[in-house]
Amino acid sequence: MSQRTNWSEAFRRAGRQAVSVALLLVVVVTLVSVAASSDQRSKAPAFTRQPRLMVDDSVGADLEALALETWDQFLAVFQARSGCFGDVHLRAVYDLGSRAGYDPDTATVTVLVPGTPAMLQSALIHEWAHHVEFQCEEHQDLRPMFLAAQGLPPDTPWRPRDVPANLPTSEWAGIPSEQYAEAVIELVLGGRPIPTRVHVTPEAIRVIQEWAVGD
């Protein structure tokens, strides 16, 4: 009788130990899952949806249609990077010191109207390239490769701190940031409908393309 009692007690202890081990395993697996989930969230892009073009009331129907079509072309090229830049706003004005401009603080592109479709489309893509440049931290990785592709020294400033509104065209054309924006026009449209004094090498366009697709 005592022997059977000892065996029963042993079985009960073994059962309790098995339950304890099982519970411990559940806790460990849960903690690992939570840690993995947290790590994945920390690596998630800043923007989880497709960036949108937000059109202002100042934009006419013709320009809006052209802008939305061009935005789709732009996103098709930068699809792999679309998680690191957000929405961009568009407004139109009848008086501007240049054909277009970009305000990084409000993520707003302003274009001068009226204009030919080729002029407007080129201006939009140029400024959207600046939108990616200012809003996407990953863009920092592109710049050394772009400078090298353009044959520029690696310590060349990407953009002067203060660019005057009346900057001569020859000086504007020498700014790497502007060269990059003009190269994006060629990449998206397959050429530049509106020629400028900016020289862009085929290698520079290839570098942007590879970066844009995540290579």
Q: 167-186, pLDDT tens digit by residue?
A: 778 788 999 999 999 999 99
In the chain, % of residues over pLDDT 70 = 75
Judge whether residue 146 has pLDDT over 60: yes
Taking the model in full, what pTM does it have? 0.77
Q: Measured between alpha carbons, how far is residue 196 from residues 50, 122, 173, 191 in Å?
A: 31, 11, 8, 12
Backbone angles phi, psi at 67, to 5 degrees: -65, -45
Domain chopping of the chain, boundaries: 1-44, 53-212
Parallel, antiparallel or unpaired: strands 108-112 and 100-103:
antiparallel
pLDDT at 164: 66
Judge whether residue 29 has pLDDT over 70: no
Judge whether residue 58 has pLDDT over 50: yes
